[in-house]
Amino acid sequence: MNDVYCPKGRSRRRLKSFTFLHYFKVELFNTVIDTQVQELNDRFDNVNIKLLECLSCLDPRDSFANFNNEKLIEFARFYPSEFDELADIPFMSSSLDNFIVDVRADSNFVNLQTISDLALKMVEKRKDIVYPQVYLLIKLALVLPVATASVERVFSAMTFVKNKLHNRINDDWFNSCMLTFVEYDIFDTIDDEDIMKYFQGMKNRRMIL
């Protein structure tokens, strides 16, 4: 690994000498890591990251080590139709405090591994009735991965575009195609002439519609 690296077809005299270790670490490893980080940043925006952080607070492992009242209240605020800012949010902190003290003292909640295990155990021990707001948070956490399915997975239903072009479509285009596919009943009511007129009005086109 400490031998001098020289790319094929290049003269050693005209190159700055560096080792194979430097080549694999800087030219390959760091490049791959940068690419992966960029892909993750493109896939998960700030809202998604916030939601993931909030979800981790409901993880029952290690005696609810990640439990955090403030983040769970922030999670509730993502659902204003479920949690009223005046009627529900002000009382959530005390409800969450009582909940975490209760479950940490209950041996039935010691060996839980997932949020779904927590939901089942709460129903079994009827704590979903005692802590309805907390149980609603747990239910929302369970359906969130399905409700926010990535465009890649939802778009897989559209098998008629599974071709080489599919691999070059960016996320914005995926989102637009997904929307028209999922809400097809609404788009069926829109006249094609209206769509073409709107498209023509956006900017000049080389082709005449």
pLDDT per residue as tens digits for the range 22-33? 777 777 888 888
For the chain, give the mean pLDDT: 80
Q: What is the distance between the alpha carbons of residues 114 and 51, in angstroms, rounded to a whole number?
A: 17
18 φ, ψ to 5°?
A: -150, 160
Percentage of the chain modeled with pLDDT above 90: 35
| Helix, strand, coil % over all residues of the chain, rounded to 5 | 65, 0, 30
Locus of tokens 């779904």: 116
Mean pLDDT of 54-64: 92
DSSP 30: H
| pTM of the predicted protein model | 0.58
- Given this model, what pLDDT does residue 35 score? 84
- Residues 179-205: pLDDT tens digits? 777 777 888 888 888 888 887 777 666
Compare 43 and 151 and report the one with higher pLDDT.
Answer: 43
The whole-number average pLDDT for the span 137-155 is 70
Q: What is the pLDDT of residues 118-131, one digit of tens each?
A: 999 999 999 999 99
